[in-house]
Amino acid sequence: MDKGAVLALDDEVWADLMRAAAAVPEGRRDVEGVVPGWSSHDVVWHVAYWVARAARVLEEVRPGGPYPEEPEEGAYYDAENDAAMPAGRAMTWDAVLAHGEQGHDRARRVVAECDETVSAWVRDRYLEEVDHFREHAAQINAFLQR
């Protein structure tokens, strides 16, 4: 998949996530159950946090920095999520959304601007983020159906 296709897919999936977030009524944003122990607010913050983190990693790689070794799924990510969650819970819904949009814009810009030398690595890492957006949009939509 070339960069253009990645960016087109990203546009579609990010828009789906933002539509799902926008559909959550104000009174349900802090209701747990989107995923065990997390509300819609928590899930949107989680995505905002990780896309901002992805942007930082991609910005470091773009100028020719070394490809960072990503930890395997599991304890590292759980600990990072646990450490980040209080900051998100202290933010307003609008601030969480704005943080997500800023991180998404930064990450997307890196993907768009990277040269072919790093684009395959960047593309693959960013596609993982796009899958992450899709997964959480589906969870929010399922929560809204309950």
At 15, list the tokens: 């828009």
In the chain, the amino acid numbered 71 is P
For residues 78-99, give the mean pLDDT: 96
Residue 52's pLDDT is what?
93
Q: Between residues 70 and 19, which one has the greater pLDDT? A: 19
C-beta of residue 10 within 8 angstroms of C-beta of residue 54: no
For residues 37-44, give the mean pLDDT: 98
In angstroms, the CA 64 to CA 48 distance is 25
CA of residue 121 relative to chain centroid, distance: 18
In angstroms, the CA 4 to CA 27 distance is 38
In angstroms, the CA 102 to CA 100 distance is 5
pLDDT level of residue 105 (50, 70, 90 thresholds) = very high
Q: To which CATH superfamily is domain 3-145 assigned?
A: dinb family like domain (1.20.120.450)
For residues 121-140, give the mean pLDDT: 90
Q: pLDDT > 90: what percent of the chain? A: 62
Average pLDDT, the chain: 90
Residue 117's pLDDT is what?
58
Where are the domains positioned within the chain? 3-145
Residue 121's pLDDT is what?
75
pLDDT level of residue 118 (50, 70, 90 thresholds) = low
Question: Which residues partner with 38 through β-bridges?
Answer: 35
* pTM of the entire predicted model: 0.91
